[in-house]
Structure formats: C-alpha cells, structure tokens
Homo-oligomer: A and B are copies of this chain.
Amino acid sequence: MKIPLDHAAAIGNVVRASRKAQKIRQDDAAGSIGVSENFLGKIERGDESVQWGKLFQVLEGLGVRIVVDVPDNVAAWLNERRDDRGRS
C-alpha cells in the first residue's frame, strides 16, 4: 500500500502502525532495529528533529519502503553520475 506523505510528522503514524501490525512492542522493535526505545517512541510521536539516517534505519527494520516521486524531467539529471568523474 502506497501512502503519500503530506507533512514530515505523518511518518510517525506509519511507523507506529507498521510496528503494531507486527504485534511487537516499542522496546522489542527498538532492540532488534538497533535504536533506543526512547528514539523509536519519539519517531512514532511525530518528532521531526530526528536524524534522517536513523529514521531510515527504523523504516528498514519495520519493512517500510520509501519511494520518492519526482517529475519525469529529473531522471536525466539522475543519470548524470557524480562518481563517473574519474574518482574510482
């Protein structure tokens, strides 16, 4: 099921719902994901100040995938790779 995010805090609801769908508690989920229970609780309550990388870790741990939706013309610039600049 694909859910568009219309504001940053909304991801908290998704995280909580995903965890509950798996019938696991915050502390157990946090433990297996590798973050603190405090942190997971913070995310679920919609705190926007959390670090993107840690949030992504949580999403991965809960089987939530992120898809970015961009205008089609952006694709051409995506293929302009930064690592094709002789930095191998």
Q: Which of B57, B66, B74 contacts A17 (CB 8 A)?
A: B74
CB within 8 Å of B: which of A21-74?
Answer: 21, 48-57, 59, 63-74
Instruction: Assess whether A85 is interfacial by the CB under 8 Å rule.
Output: no
A80→B19 CA distance, assembly (Å):
13
A20 close to B77 (CB less than 8 A): yes
Residues of A within 8 A of B (CB): 1-5, 7-9, 11, 13-14, 16-18, 20-21, 48-57, 59, 63-78, 80, 82
Q: A51-B50, A82-B13 are in contact. Are A70 and B64 (CB under 8 A)?
A: yes
B2 close to A67 (CB less than 8 A): yes
Closest B residue to A44 by beta carbon equals B82
14 contacts between A and B (CB under 8 A): A1-B72, A2-B67, A3-B78, A4-B67, A5-B65, A8-B52, A11-B68, A14-B78, A20-B77, A21-B74, A21-B77, A48-B53, A65-B70, A67-B68
